[in-house]
């Protein structure tokens, strides 16, 4: 793994003089964008959404701390298919507490599976975790989370991307943005309806690795449709 690929970016953070209220100073879309994420998903519109097909039988290779989130990087070949459109899996990262809300309800943790297609368009599958029983997949990496910015840990354990997913794959969809600078819009968000459970101690591991909460505040919906 190329450790330089995970080098920390110190131009922004989640608190203080470089926190979200100042992100527009380096990413103007944070102030001017009309499709910013995350949002509170409510007032759903029934839609004929195609099923998500996951090709996630790919092994996790390493954990990386880029200074803003803990990332999981996988061997090549992971992907989702939305209808006949394929998006290749780039990486998985976590936000604690969760960034999106469902009808006002907040969650303990949110996983973002980030994908790219051949034209470099981005699709993100989001998975929410609520307080409860420990999470078996997360437990495999809990004690291996890199604590320092720019640090990576190669994984010798057997862990696939599929192990993180719930059995039910129904989802909400909306058009949004990256939740970090540069806050690029035109991102397809697929929010899985079924949350998983996670123990408080596991969430604390993410918070320690990220040096505190790493969730962007909710953004204005601006009349966007949320399909279900």
Per-residue pLDDT tens digits for 107-132: 999 999 999 999 999 999 999 999 99
192, 181 contact by CB (below 8 A): no
Q: Which helix (H) or strand (E) holds 174?
A: strand 171-177
So which residues are the catalytic ones?
Answer: 68
Strands 85-95 and 70-74: antiparallel
Contacts of 124 (CB under 8 A, 6+ apart): 112, 113, 114, 115, 187, 188, 189, 190
- Supply the pLDDT for residue 47: 86
Residue 160 phi, psi (nearest 5): -110, 160
What the chain holds in terms of domains, given with CATH numbers, is: 3-209 (3.10.200.10)
One pLDDT digit (tens) per residue for the chain, 228 residues: 333 344 445 799 999 999 999 999 999 999 999 999 999 999 999 988 999 999 999 999 999 999 999 999 999 999 999 999 999 999 999 999 999 999 999 999 999 999 999 999 999 999 999 999 999 999 999 999 999 999 999 999 999 999 999 999 999 999 999 999 999 999 999 999 999 999 999 999 999 998 999 999 999 999 999 999
pTM (2 d.p.): 0.94
pLDDT at 64: 97
Candidates 77, 54, 75; CA nearest to 155 is 75
pLDDT at residue 7, rounded to an integer: 42
**CA angle at residue 218 from 217 to 219, to 5 degrees?**
115
Q: How many CB atoms are located within 10 Å of the residue 39 CB?
A: 22
């Amino acid at each position: 793994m190329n450790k330089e690929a995970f080098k920390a970016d110190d131009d922004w953070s989640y608190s203080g003089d470089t926190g979200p209220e100042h992100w527009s100073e380096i990413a103007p879309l944070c102030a001017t964008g009309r499709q910013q994420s995350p949002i509170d998903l409510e007032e759903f519109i029934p839609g004929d959404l195609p099923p998500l097909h996951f090709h996630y039988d790919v092994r996790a290779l390493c954990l990386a701390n880029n200074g803003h989130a803990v990332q999981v990087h996988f061997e090549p070949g992971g992907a989702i298919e939305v209808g006949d459109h394929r998006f290749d899996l780039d990486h998985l990262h976590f936000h604690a507490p969760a960034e999106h809300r469902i009808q006002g309800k907040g969650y303990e943790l949110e996983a973002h599976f980030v994908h790219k297609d051949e034209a470099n368009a981005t699709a993100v599958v989001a998975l929410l975790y609520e307080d409860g029983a420990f999470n078996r997949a997360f437990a495999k990496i809990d004690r291996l989370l890199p604590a320092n910015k720019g640090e990576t840990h190669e994984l010798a354990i057997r862990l696939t991307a599929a192990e993180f997913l719930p059995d039910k794959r129904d989802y909400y969809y909306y058009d949004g943005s990256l939740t970090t600078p540069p806050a690029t819009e035109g991102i397809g968000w697929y929010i899985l309806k079924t949350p998983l459970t996670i123990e408080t101690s596991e969430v604390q591991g993410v918070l320690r690795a990220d040096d505190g909460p790493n969730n962007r505040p909710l953004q204005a919906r601006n009349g966007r449709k949320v399909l279900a």
